[in-house]
Amino acid sequence: MSEPIRKIEAPVRLEFTVEAGRALTRFLSSIVEERIVGRRCPECTKVYVPARSSCPTCGVPMSEDVTVADTGTLTTFCIVNVPFEGQTMKLPYVYGAIVLDGADLPILHLVQGIPANEVRMGLRVKAEWTPPEERPASLEAIRWFTPSGEPDAPFDAYKEHL
């Protein structure tokens, strides 16, 4: 009798094609031109970035495009020290929630250009754009955010976004 087989490896792969839809297409076609486009809800007036087609709070269609700044405030963050499958960044790296000036909720992105242990809540940051010739239609058009050099935002200025 041979040893019982207790386990086999069966790798799983999943490939998919995403239809971006109208609102996201607007965002993606703008970001390759170095513009960040969101949409304003006609009821609650909140600006969502990336642009989306309906307001998750009011449930109404959003059609008004709003271009927001490529500067913003880091509200909170994580310093990642743990390796994992599929990781592309060198450890440690910092990612966080950034509320762009003119937007009403944060996006998640990398924070570089500052030692990880000096990153802080309220840090003012600016987008570092990828070169136009290699810029993808993705939030990855922004390589990462770096400190803008402005004074930190006070806690009260961003606490509603936590």
Strand arrangement of the beta sheet that strand 64-68 belongs to = 47-48, 36-40, 64-68
- Smallest gap, in angstroms, from Cβ of residue 149 to another protein? 23
- Distance from C-alpha of 40 to C-alpha of 59, rounded to nearest angstrom: 13
Q: Which residue has the tokens 């440690």?
A: 92
CB atoms within 10 A of CB 148: 16
Q: Tell me the number of residues near another protein by CB under 8 A.
A: 52
12 contacts another protein (rule: CB under 8 A): yes
DSSP 130: P
Rounded distance between C-alpha atoms, residue 42 and residue 107, angstroms: 21
Residue 138 binds another protein (CB under 8 A): yes
- Would you say 70 or 104 has its CB closer to another protein? 104
Using rule CB under 8 A, residue 157 touches another protein = no
- Closest separation between CB of residue 89 and another protein, Å? 7
What are the two backbone dihedrals, phi and then psi, of residue 132, each rounded to the nearest 5 degrees? -55, -35
Which helix H or strand E contains 23, and what residues bound it? helix 21-31
User: Cis peptide before 92, with omega less than 30 degrees from 0?
Assistant: yes
CB of 78 to another protein, least distance (A): 4
Cβ proximity to another protein: between 57 and 67 the closer is 57
Provide the minimum distance between the beta carbon of 31 and another protein in the complex, in angstroms, as a whole number.
Answer: 9
Site membership for another protein, residue 114 (CB under 8 A): no
74 with 122: CB under 8 angstroms? yes
Q: Does 69 bind another protein (CB under 8 A)?
A: no
Taking CB under 8 A as the rule, does residue 29 contact another protein? no
For another protein, the binding residues (CB under 8 A) are: 6-7, 10, 12, 18, 20, 24, 28, 44, 46-48, 50, 55-57, 75-82, 84-89, 92, 95-97, 104-105, 108-110, 116, 121, 137-140, 142, 144, 155, 159-162
